[in-house]
Homo-oligomer: A and B are copies of this chain.
Amino acid sequence: MQALDMAGHLIRRLHQHSTQVYTARTREAGFDITSVQFAALDAIKANPGIDQAGVAALIAYDRPTIGEVINRLVSKGLVERAINDADRRARVLRLTPLGEETFARLLPIVREAQNAILGNLAPDERTAFMALARSAIPAE
């Protein structure tokens, strides 16, 4: 068992833990919005009129994945998608009123989940971890 203490394995375990905490907290609060969907909502809220490729670039996903994520957000009534008249290839995205309201209610829960994710670390360790993580991630 050499794999267990490799960086890649630890990072995967962290990601697994992070996802489980996120899902548990948001479900408890009555939401059915995955972390990718939340990130997409956040990007669209901050950049109304952005297109799908823009969202993908902002939150570091590939376009096919984001296309399907947006599909789910549209079918949940949280996002509206329209053809951009200036560039007819692009789909202009905006939060619906329900999307705005849902995001506002979800945000504090997601924030709280972040503390829980690093709940095994002391406050100064959390800061150190976040700084190291930021450095380790390649620029783009």
Chain A interface (Cβ < 8 Å from any Cβ of B): 1-19, 21-22, 35, 38-39, 42-43, 46-47, 58-60, 107, 110-111, 113-114, 117-118, 120-121, 125-126, 128-130, 132-138
Contact = CB atoms under 8 A, between A and B. Distances in A.
A18 B13 CA distance: 12
A14 B17 contact: no
Given A9-B39, A22-B8, A117-B8, A14 B133 contact: yes
| Chain A at the B interface: SS class | helix
Contacts of A118: 7, 136
Nearest to A129: B132
Given A7-B18, A9-B39, A13-B133, 19 more contacts: A1-B58, A3-B59, A3-B110, A5-B130, A6-B114, A7-B114, A7-B118, A7-B126, A7-B133, A8-B21, A10-B130, A10-B133, A12-B18, A14-B14, A17-B138, A120-B136, A120-B137, A121-B135, A121-B136
